[in-house]
Structure 1
Amino acid sequence: MTVHDTQVLVVGAGPTGLTAAIELLRQGVDCMLIDERSEPARYSRALVLQARSLELLQLHGLSDAFVRDGYLAPGFNFGADDRTPAIVEMYHTGSRYPFMLTLSQEETERALTERLGELGGTLHRGLKLVSAAQDREGVTAKLTGESGERTVTARYLIDCSGSHSVLSQQWGTTEESPLFRGTALIADVLVEGDLPRGFVSLHTNERGGLALLPFQNEYVRVIAFDLAKMEISPKEPLDIEEVQETVDAIVPYPLRIGNPQWITRFRAQNRLLSTYRNERLFFAGDAAHLYIPVAAQGMNTGIQDAFNLAWKLSFVCRGRAPESLLDSYNEERHLIGERTRKLSDLLFQLFIKQARSTTYRKISSKVMGLALSTTPVQNLMSGRVSQTGVEYRHTALSKAQRFGGLPKSAINAGDRVPDLDLADSDGLGVRLYDLMRTPGFVLIGYASSYTSSRKKEAMAAELARLKDRYAGSLQCLMVLGEGLPRQGDVPTFLDARREVLHKLGARPGDVFLVRPDGYLAFRADDPRRLPGLLGSWLSTPVTDSGVRTVPDGALR
């Protein structure tokens, strides 16, 4: 058996690469994280954490601190000056985090780096990936740094190195969109005036489109697509007076900006790799996709790429899942990348069409206002923007394990599982996602007061048997519709808020397998079917040299 320097080499220490590394470590797999920068980037275009990213990052105990330090925007509007602005509100998501959180990427990366250290990981700075070769045994990567060249071998490589990825140019086929080729303006500034700070505000007129994103310390980010300035080279200097002129030209109420923390021109790219996997090489984040920054999707899509891939790699590296599971990464995430690009393109096209036509601007504003006043459209838009609406029903595995006969709206294979509120013997306040901080899958059995004692005992016995068989990979729970939780071989909770009943559509005797990234692997109505269904996701554990122990207290 080939001995590698590390199980997984992660290239790039932005939010995507850091998330991949800490999730690998949380799941118990050794990895090496490198970044060509000698120190953290001070400024970045990414500013918003969406609800789905916050749900996943809470599996590392990070999101509550992010919320404390960030700015909670309840949604975004098109034209805050209108009497009836078109507003997309995030409370429709039903998430534990019903808002858009504006927080600098610098702060996000700092917290992720600290978690990396708590899990025993190290970030190797000043190392640049030059090339990589792969064979049936693994990947050989050539790196260069201050001390010269070195070679690192790994079973797998995750490329999170962003828009300048060497490997995506060598190994990936890129699908580019010609939608946007101009130069935009970006500035983090203090603002004086009647800015409605509650929402992220979007404005358009004949000069172009402009977004105002409030964030901590009273600063506001200005992102402007100024049609009068989009042909200027991104290398041309930009000063505060020029940004002020653009603000004056587009924003319909007076604002005075100053004290810039960051000010620059940038040329947004818009491309998507045709595949996120090439045998042992995987692409995530900006190395796989780049979007026009109008819906705060890029960093969030990358974070969720990382979660999706890292837990799968960890289970395969530890011999606890079939290698075929890795095929699902590209199948699941590439379509999400396509859908996300369509959303960003749609919003940008709306921006530009409104700017170029007064008639279109008036009509579209009225239509959007009417459409967004309806619950179905609000649910759709908030789910798409927050990414709580991301689901994997389209994959072969989800289709094979879909439970038939359910309403279309019912939770089924491939769907996001909401963060359920349960109760134990001490009362309310037990959250499913907090229980999921213990690495692995979660298998939930549901019974009610109408379920016979014999059936409850049979379900508990089957869950206990599977918990022992897949020790370290599978956490098993019983949830009662009514009654009192009790101690036993399988922890038992009460569905006191009826969320398992109504949000999952559970019926007595149902069992649900929740993946480590919070999506439903499958549901079944008979515990005796579990061994056959589990085989697509889990293998009987074996000892693996790549397994590492998570330090005590790291997950508290």
Structure 2
Amino acid sequence: MDAPVIVAGAGPTGLMLAGELRLAGVDVIVLDRLERRTGESRGLGFTTRTMEVFDQRGLLHRFGEIGTSNAGHFGGLPVDFGVLDSVHRAAKTVPQSDTETMLEGWARELGADIRRGHDLVSLHDHDDHVEVEVRGPDGEEIWLTAHYLVGCDGGRSVVRKTAGFDFPGTAATMEMYLADIKGVDLEPRQIGETYANGMVMCGPLGDRGVTRIIVCERGTPARRRTEPPSYAEVAAAWQRITGVDISHAEHEWVSAFGDASRLATEYRRGRVILAGDAAHIHLPAGGQGMNTGIQDAVNLGWKLAAVITGNAPESLLDTYHEERHAVGERLMTNTKAQGLLLLSGDEVQPLREVLAELIRYEEVSRHLAAMVSGLEIRYDVGRGSHPLLGLRMPHLELVADNQKTSSTRKLHSGRGLLLDLEDNPVLRDRASGWADRVDVVVGIPHGVQDDSPLAGTAAVLVRPDGHVAWAAPGSHHDLPMALERWFGPSRI
């Protein structure tokens, strides 16, 4: 094999996956058809859940100072995200180009083999390996083999199409524009400010004098472009909607997008796996696409590594589809709902008004904010009464080995984590057969409130992706059963 895993696509999803695999010691080749990053910043910022994910790998500091905010929306209706229970707030100022730069640097530091200018042309899924045909930088034909191929190559995924994945859904009904411009003074316009014939949004991108604009003109037919639209098209649409002429502005880049909504029926077929936009496309409402892709990668990476290294059976990969496809379905539902609120005309104004009334209730705001942020995700990890089962482990300050640390810091290595919060030697002995895969930490919790789901918790088993797989008291299956389910058989 040229590598155990080949990843197609060096966007945020593919780069995050490469880093996760290298944390587990698995070699990976990342192929990308572009010879260099475009520098375009389609995705902007991170949801609260992605901030948590980056923090659990010790990556947040690599971005420098990050502007965060509790201000959010659902379909253009303001929602206070400050009601969420997290130590993080959503990031608003990090362009996708910076995210890709950071992730590529991290993956390369860990030893990922990233090959730019390598275009995947075809693939052949055999019983025990995958063979891919690649067109190299000079047009040469290259054949590579791997145990698994992961398509992280975007909404028009060659991997998805060539491997024959079904991708049902709805086609785009309209075309919208996005651009970063300079040399024009525009008042910030919040998403959701509608006009008779459309909706626009604009706001500054950091302190570089760049303004991000989004233009959604009703009645603009969907089209399949092979090249980006001209800036003249974008400026003309902006003027038709707002009456303001921005044609004199300097544009850094422009792009078009639509409201297509599609979800692959399966995320894995044999030795070919999909993640990110290759598995799901939708209206980019709330910036959920890139964030969901990054979280796909974090769910998949440790499972794929465990199977490749022989620590877990191949059936563990089935849980990737089971867990993340359900997230994809939820993503389709909420982005379609937001599309109706954002892009429809006056006929949905009564619905907007009723929903705006409901959002004033904190419970409704919390529900919608958690949906968009990914904080509502709970995986099926087994029966039990502990409130944390299947949820992501909340940040917990600890004192371990007479030093201050945290549950988040203990996940930096990408290994499993058993937190023994009552210094129980019997518990640790039962977990000793998994010492090569699971770190056991005896810790004294600090700052746990009486109403916290961690109150009264004796021990927690945390998967490498941060989700709780077992907790005591309250789990209906034994700790060794949970360890074997998620980390493979005991070594003793």
TM-score over 0.5 (shorter chain):
yes
Quote the Cα distance in structure 1 between the aligned partners of 2:53 and 2:247: 38
Please name the residue that 1:164 is paired with.
156
Please name the residue that 1:552 is paired with.
none
- Aligned-partner residue type, residue 473 of structure 1: R
Is the CA contact (8 Å cut-off) linking 1:235 and 1:265 kept in structure 2?
no
Runs of at least 5 residues in structure 2 that lack an aligned partner in the other structure: none
Quote the Cα distance in structure 2 between the aligned partners of 1:503 and 1:131: 51
Equivalent residues in 2 for 1:73-112 (5 A)? Answer: 73-77=69-73, 86-112=77-103
Is the CA contact (8 Å cut-off) linking 1:193 and 1:254 kept in structure 2?
no
Quote the Cα distance in structure 1 between the aligned partners of 2:158 and 2:141: 16
Q: In the TM superposition, what is the alpha-carbon distance from 1:539 to its structure 2 partner?
A: 2.5
The answer to whether structure 1 residue 529 and structure 2 residue 478 are counterparts is: yes
Q: Which moves more between the two structures, 177-186 or 7-16?
A: 177-186
Please name the residue that 1:323 is paired with.
314
Quote the Cα distance in structure 2 between the aligned partners of 1:385 and 1:209: 21
Q: Could you tell me which of 329, 339, 355 is aligned with 2:330?
A: 339
The CA RMSD over aligned residues, in Å, is 2.9
Quote the Cα distance in structure 1 between the aligned partners of 2:143 and 2:165: 26
The answer to whether structure 1 residue 411 and structure 2 residue 388 are counterparts is: yes
Please name the residue that 2:25 is paired with.
28
**Residue 496 to residue 524, structure 1, CA distance change in 2 (3 Å):** closer
Please name the residue that 1:178 is paired with.
170
Equivalent residues in 2 for 1:265-414 (5 A)? Answer: 265-353=256-344, 356-357=345-346, 360-361=348-349, 363-393=350-380, 398=381, 401-404=382-385, 410-412=387-389, 414=390
**Residue 126 to residue 134, structure 1, CA distance change in 2 (3 Å):** same
Quote the Cα distance in structure 1 between the aligned partners of 2:25 and 2:226: 45
Quote the Cα distance in structure 1 between the aligned partners of 2:299 and 2:251: 37
**Residue 92 to residue 179, structure 1, CA distance change in 2 (3 Å):** farther
**Residue 439 to residue 94, structure 1, CA distance change in 2 (3 Å):** same
Deviation string 1:473-530 (CA, Å, 9 cap, x unpaired) is 101123xxxxxxxxxxxxx3x222115x64334436x332111011111224399932
Q: In the TM superposition, what is the alpha-carbon distance from 1:74 to its structure 2 partner?
A: 2.7
The answer to whether structure 1 residue 476 and structure 2 residue 440 are counterparts is: yes
Q: Could you tell me which of 148, 153, 156 is aligned with 2:140?
A: 148
SS in 2 for 1:472: coil
Q: In the TM superposition, what is the alpha-carbon distance from 1:134 to its structure 2 partner?
A: 2.2
Q: In the TM superposition, what is the alpha-carbon distance from 1:472 to its structure 2 partner?
A: 2.9
Is the CA contact (8 Å cut-off) linking 1:210 and 1:222 kept in structure 2?
yes
Q: In the TM superposition, what is the alpha-carbon distance from 1:114 to its structure 2 partner?
A: 0.7
Q: Which moves more between the two structures, 34-43 or 273-282?
A: 34-43
The answer to whether structure 1 residue 56 and structure 2 residue 53 are counterparts is: yes
Is the CA contact (8 Å cut-off) linking 1:291 and 1:297 kept in structure 2?
no
Q: In the TM superposition, what is the alpha-carbon distance from 1:250 to its structure 2 partner?
A: 4.8
Equivalent residues in 2 for 1:245-256 (5 A)? Answer: 246-247=237-238, 250=241
Q: Which moves more between the two structures, 17-26 or 133-142?
A: 133-142
- Aligned-partner residue type, residue 364 of structure 1: L
Q: In the TM superposition, what is the alpha-carbon distance from 1:63 to its structure 2 partner?
A: 1.8
Q: Could you tell me which of 428, 431, 434 is aligned with 1:463?
A: 428
**Residue 239 to residue 161, structure 1, CA distance change in 2 (3 Å):** closer
The answer to whether structure 1 residue 37 and structure 2 residue 1 are counterparts is: no
Please name the residue that 2:397 is paired with.
421
Deviation string 1:106-129 (CA, Å, 9 cap, x unpaired) is 111111111112112221111111
Is the CA contact (8 Å cut-off) linking 1:12 and 1:160 kept in structure 2?
yes
Deviation string 1:351-401 (CA, Å, 9 cap, x unpaired) is 122xx21x642x3343233211111111111111111222223xxxx2xx2
Q: In the TM superposition, what is the alpha-carbon distance from 1:9 to its structure 2 partner?
A: 0.8
**Residue 249 to residue 279, structure 1, CA distance change in 2 (3 Å):** same
Q: In the TM superposition, what is the alpha-carbon distance from 1:156 to its structure 2 partner?
A: 0.9
Deviation string 1:298-332 (CA, Å, 9 cap, x unpaired) is 11111111111111011111122222111101111
Deviation string 1:167-200 (CA, Å, 9 cap, x unpaired) is 211334434433632211111124524427xxx6
Is the CA contact (8 Å cut-off) linking 2:151 and 2:159 kept in structure 1?
yes
SS in 2 for 1:187: strand
Quote the Cα distance in structure 1 between the aligned partners of 2:459 and 2:82: 29
- Aligned-partner residue type, residue 460 of structure 1: P
**Residue 100 to residue 386, structure 1, CA distance change in 2 (3 Å):** farther
Runs of at least 5 residues in structure 1 that lack an aligned partner in the other structure: 80-84, 448-455, 479-491, 543-556
Please name the residue that 1:515 is paired with.
463
The answer to whether structure 1 residue 433 and structure 2 residue 415 are counterparts is: no
Q: Could you tell me which of 452, 456, 461 is aligned with 1:503?
A: 452
Is the CA contact (8 Å cut-off) linking 1:441 and 1:474 kept in structure 2?
yes
Quote the Cα distance in structure 2 between the aligned partners of 1:287 and 1:367: 35
TM-score normalised by L of structure 1: 0.80
**Residue 95 to residue 285, structure 1, CA distance change in 2 (3 Å):** same
**Aligned length, in residue pairs:** 487
**Residue 268 to residue 149, structure 1, CA distance change in 2 (3 Å):** farther
Quote the Cα distance in structure 2 between the aligned partners of 1:72 and 1:259: 28
TM-score normalised by L of structure 2: 0.90
**Residue 208 to residue 539, structure 1, CA distance change in 2 (3 Å):** same
Deviation string 1:14-57 (CA, Å, 9 cap, x unpaired) is 10100000100011111111111111122142223212112112
Is the CA contact (8 Å cut-off) linking 1:195 and 1:255 kept in structure 2?
no
- Aligned-partner residue type, residue 443 of structure 1: L
Is the CA contact (8 Å cut-off) linking 2:378 and 2:391 kept in structure 1?
yes
Is the CA contact (8 Å cut-off) linking 1:10 and 1:17 kept in structure 2?
yes
Q: In the TM superposition, what is the alpha-carbon distance from 1:350 to its structure 2 partner?
A: 1.1
Q: Which moves more between the two structures, 249-258 or 144-153?
A: 249-258
Matched residues, percent identical? 29
